[in-house]
Structure formats: C-alpha cells, structure tokens
C-alpha cells in the first residue's frame, strides 16, 4: 500500500514507544553465527523459542557445521530435534538445506534473499530473520504470530497473510526500523499484548492504540 503521511506519523509513534520500552530487544533464539540462526529458525516453526534453545544447545555442539548436519543419519537427526514438533519434516529440510549450503555455497549461509529462499525449508520470514539478525541487512519485516496480532490491533494493517502484512509494515516504517521493530513487537506480545488477554492497562501504547478486535 502507499502509506499516507498521518499513517507514517502514527507508525513512527509506535516505533518510538517500543524503542523506549524495549531498547535492548534482540532475537530470542540462541545462536552463534548465521548457520546456527538459520537452523534454529527452521526449528522454531510451531515451537517455542525456549524449546528450540534447549534442543540447539546440544545439536550445535554435536554438529557444528553444515557438513556435519548434512552427514548425520536422518533418523538420528529426527531424534535430536523430536521435541520441537513436526520433526520429520524439519529434519528433512535441515539436511537438504545443509547439503545445498555445502554443495553450492561452501558450507556458508549466503547473505542474499534470493539465494536463501532457494534453500529447502527457507521462506521469506526465515530469510528476513537471518539477513536482519545475522547480517544486519533490513530486507523486510519479520512477521510471526505476535507481529501479526499486534500490527492488526494497532491498526497498522488490516491484512491477514504474512506477505501482505509485511508489505504494509514496510510501507509504513522507515527501513532503519525494520529489524528492531519485529524484535520489540515480539517482546511486547509475550509480555503485554498477549493473544488471549492483552494487558492494556498500563501498556506503553495504551494512549494511541485503537485496540482493533480487542475485547476486554
């Protein structure tokens, strides 16, 4: 969408409020480098970050490189990540992804959107996480369940799909805010603007939030 000046001003208010509330917000997935973040993000689908961090603490110690993950027997990898859910599909994607990293990229994660989304199991959201957090490249806005919920409640979008929500947010927010905005919204969603019972009283956005769809 083409955002109007008042809409951009409102979005800027939201950005400033979140920055004041969560100045040090960062990615909740524990990682050391782009490869670990890529694998952790794949594992995070339909799984809590806390559970992923528990699993990857051992996984990355045993299999520190893309070549290691590509070579481990599939059944063994499935057992390593079983508690993250959908483990068979995730294991297949991780192995296929790591094999391509080894074969096509020297075992390194490419810092390029087109090359990342060409990897098995990697969509735009995962690519945005890796490019933004690991490489500092604001290629888009990460849209997870928290960002979806809160962006709609704040009236920043009326869309329902991640792709369209991201397009709206990219039109509203300055590029320099894209990476940190998602981290801060995710923290806000976990601590305050919860799915079932948002804690609107005392919320740092209470005075400007239209509370779209919120029933208290």
Q: Which residues contact 68 (CB under 8 A, 6 or more apart)?
A: 62
Token match 């799909």: residue?
A: 161
Q: How far apart are CA 85 and CA 90, in angstroms?
A: 8
Q: What is the pLDDT of residues 19-62, one digit of tens each?
A: 999 999 999 999 999 999 999 999 999 999 999 999 999 999 99
For residue range 117-151, list pLDDT tens digits in order: 999 999 999 999 999 999 999 999 999 999 999 99
H helix runs in the chain, sequence order = 5-21, 34-43, 49-62, 66-71, 74-81, 87-105, 113-117, 124-129, 145-153, 162-172, 178-191
Pick the closest to residue 129 from 19, 117, 118, 55 (CA basis): 117
pTM of the model: 0.93
Cite the active site residues.
Answer: 125, 144
CA–CA gap between residue 195 and residue 193 (Å, rounded): 7
pLDDT for 1? 55
Strands, DSSP E only, in 35-140? none
Q: Cα(144)–Cα(122) distance, rounded to whole angstroms?
A: 14
Give the C-alpha separation, 96 to 66, whole Å: 10
């Amino acid at each position: 969408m083409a955002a109007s000046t008042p809409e951009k001003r409102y979005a800027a208010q939201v950005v400033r409020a979140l920055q004041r509330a969560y100045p040090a917000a960062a990615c909740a997935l524990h990682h050391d480098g782009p490869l670990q973040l890529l694998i952790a993000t794949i594992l995070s689908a339909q799984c809590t970050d806390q559970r992923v961090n528990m699993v990857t603490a051992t996984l990355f110690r045993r299999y520190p490189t893309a070549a290691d993950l590509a070579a481990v027997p599939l059944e063994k990898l499935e057992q390593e990540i079983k508690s993250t859910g959908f483990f068979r599909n995730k294991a297949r994607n991780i192995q296929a992804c790591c094999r391509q990293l080894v074969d096509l990229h020297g075992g390194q994660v490419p810092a390029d959107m087109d090359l990342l989304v060409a990897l098995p199991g990697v969509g735009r959201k995962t690519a945005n996480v890796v490019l933004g957090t690991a490489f500092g490249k604001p290629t888009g806005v990460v849209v997870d369940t928290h960002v979806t919920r809160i962006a709609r409640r704040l009236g920043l979008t009326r869309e329902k799909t991640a792709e369209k929500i991201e397009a709206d947010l990219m039109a509203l927010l300055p590029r320099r805010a894209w990476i940190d905005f998602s981290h801060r919204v995710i923290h806000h969603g976990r601590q305050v603007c919860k799915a079932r019972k948002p804690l609107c009283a005392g919320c740092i956005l209470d005075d400007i939030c239209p509370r779209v769809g919120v029933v208290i």
